[in-house]
Amino acid sequence: MGTARAFSVCMQEKTTDIYDSLSRIYDKLFFVLKPGHRRVGKYLEEQKIKQILEVGVGTGLTFEHYPADVQVTAIDMSSGMLKFAQEKKQSRNDIAIDLAQMDALDLKYPDNHFECTYAPSLLTVVPHPKQLIREMIRVTKPGGIIIIVSHFEGDYWQDRAFSKFAAPFTKRLFGFRMDLKFRLFDQCPEVEFLAREKVNPVGPYCLSHLVILRKQK
């Protein structure tokens, strides 16, 4: 194994360990992500999207916000987080939810398979964000929708100062990086940018952006 590959495996193992340990208290800490989950649920309903791959599902906080009659395939690396997702799945018997332990950077699904792929708060956590976007695009059908909810470095110096200040803590505690930039999407010619909006407010600050892309036909 090359050094870069070994480093990335080690980073991923660390992150998975963090989430295995956090799984019991995750819902109490991360309730602040709910407005984003709700907003995406509304979008899926408006667009009448029925078949979704959710990557980095965690404890399944998104489940309550899915519209009725959707088919969700949901994956995560952490068995601890998936255990709680399995429990939450029981409360939505009006939708089909398939759970699997899988690396979002190496999806075991064929090309052009899902109507929609959705990554809530995963982009900042994986060792290779570009690879995550590439994999999501690959498994999305032509004309399908890619939804990313993530922290991005803000446009204003106050946002950047806050991100710089918080980065050592968020990395250590939650495996989050705080320095992702929107130009990450510049190298994705196969998608069209449909929308970008702020979500998950905490006081005057918004923790995340919702980004909606469409894969070219």
Rule CB under 6 A: which residues touch ligand SAM?
12, 15-16, 19, 30, 33, 55-58, 61, 75-78, 81, 103-105, 120-122, 125-126
Q: Print the SS3 string covering 121-177.
A: CCCCCCCCHHHHHHHHHHHEEEEEEEEEEECCCCCCHHHHHHHHHHHHHHHHHHCCC
First to last CA, the chain: 37
| DSSP H helices in the chain | 3-22, 26-29, 34-47, 79-89, 129-139, 157-174
CB of 205 to ligand SAM, least distance (A): 17
Q: How many Å apart are CA 208 and CA 127, to the nearest integer?
A: 19
| Shortest separation between residue 123's beta carbon and ligand SAM, angstroms | 10
> What's phi and psi for 104, nearest 5 deg?
-65, -15
Identify the CA nearest to 74 among candidates 210, 92, 17, 34: 92
- Cβ-based nearer residue to ligand SAM, 13 or 192: 13
Provide the minimum distance between the beta carbon of 16 and ligand SAM in the complex, in angstroms, as a whole number: 6
Nearer to ligand SAM, 15 or 117 (CB): 15
CB of residue 80 to ligand SAM, shortest distance in Å: 8
- Residue 52 C-beta: closest distance to ligand SAM, Å: 13
- Minimum CB distance to ligand SAM smaller for 43 or for 192: 43
Closest to ligand SAM by CB, 100 or 158: 100
CB of 8 to ligand SAM, least distance (A): 10
Residue 67 carries which DSSP code?
A: P
Residues ≥6 apart with Cβ < 8 Å to 203: none
User: Nearer to ligand SAM by C-beta: 30 or 162?
Assistant: 30
Nearest residue to ligand SAM on Cβ basis: 58
Question: How far is the C-alpha of 123 from the C-alpha of 56, rounded, in Å?
Answer: 9
Q: With respect to ligand SAM, which residue has the nearer C-beta, 22 or 191?
A: 22
